[in-house]
Amino acid sequence: MLQAEGIGKNIEQAIENALFELKAPREDVDIKILNEGGLFKKAKVLVTISEDAKEKYAKRVEKRAEEKAIIVEEKPKQIEKCEKAPEITEDTAQQTEIKEVAQKEDVSMDAKEFLQGFLAVAGKENCTIDVIEDEKYITYSVQGDDLGDLIGHRGESFYALNRLLTAVAGKHSKRILLDIGGYREKRVESLASLARRTADRVAKSGRYSRLDPMNPSDRRIIHTTLQEDDRVTTLSKGTEPHRYVIVFPKEQD
């Protein structure tokens, strides 16, 4: 399940109900308000797993499907006289064979080699690439001079290259990240600071604040920064590429 509708007496409760059904944290989702609710109506929202988090949840859904397939396969073995048992066993064997072929035909390539080739074509032969790996991420850090055109306006080129690098690397147990001239860390700090200033303003005024449209990665930083702030709550609204974050005061008990 990659999306769920939530219903509650207010928007915040509706969001929490949908997140509970998805078993996902707020920073991994985009939120669309279907009904703001009112005196005689309940609030209703649609919560969808964000594009940059779908792979993680798709694997979870696939694992559940495989577990169900195993259960279905085991039942005919327990009922030997069932006429349909051979058909189920045969289908399962065909699915396994197809999956093994797909794994053998993995077309992914080395991410660092791809990045080196890309930089050479872009005229950045003097750049260096450091590979930093921890428990969750593999970060390819590009260092050099005159890297502004690789970042672009508000990081548009940077995030596009990051998505391309992830696609080239193929399926991986760790998330692939790109950093160019320390831009990622600077961007996180800048957006976190923006989130905190906005939260202070919203908490003081009691009015919601709408931020400029952002890509999924930037929106996630805003959501993550404010998820522990008990004064405000956040939600994403709009359609790509014009989705934006709204910060509004949380109802106090």
Give the domain CATH number at 213: 3.30.1370.50
Residue span of the structural domain in which 156 resides? 111-181
The answer on pLDDT for 103 being more than 90 is no
Q: In total, how many domains does the chain have?
A: 4
Single out the residue in 63, 80, 104 at which a domain terminates.
104
The answer on pLDDT for 75 being more than 70 is no
Q: Please compute the mean of the pLDDT values over residues 60-65 and round it to a whole number.
A: 61
The answer on pLDDT for 82 being more than 60 is no
Residues 118 and 176 in one domain: yes
pLDDT of residue 39: 61
Residues 44 and 68 in one domain: no
Residues 136 and 164 in one domain: yes
Q: Please compute the mean of the pLDDT values over residues 235-245 and round it to a whole number.
A: 87
Residues 167 and 149 in one domain: yes
Residues 163 and 147 in one domain: yes
pLDDT of residue 79: 39
Residues 126 and 159 in one domain: yes
pLDDT band at 104 (very low <50, low <70, confident <90, very high): very low
Residues 29 and 60 in one domain: no
Contacts of 231-239 spanning 24+ positions with Cβ under 8 A: 231/199, 231/202, 231/203, 232/199, 232/202, 232/203, 233/11, 233/12, 233/15, 234/26, 235/11, 235/15, 235/31, 235/33, 235/45, 236/29, 236/30, 236/31, 236/32, 237/31, 237/32, 237/33, 238/213
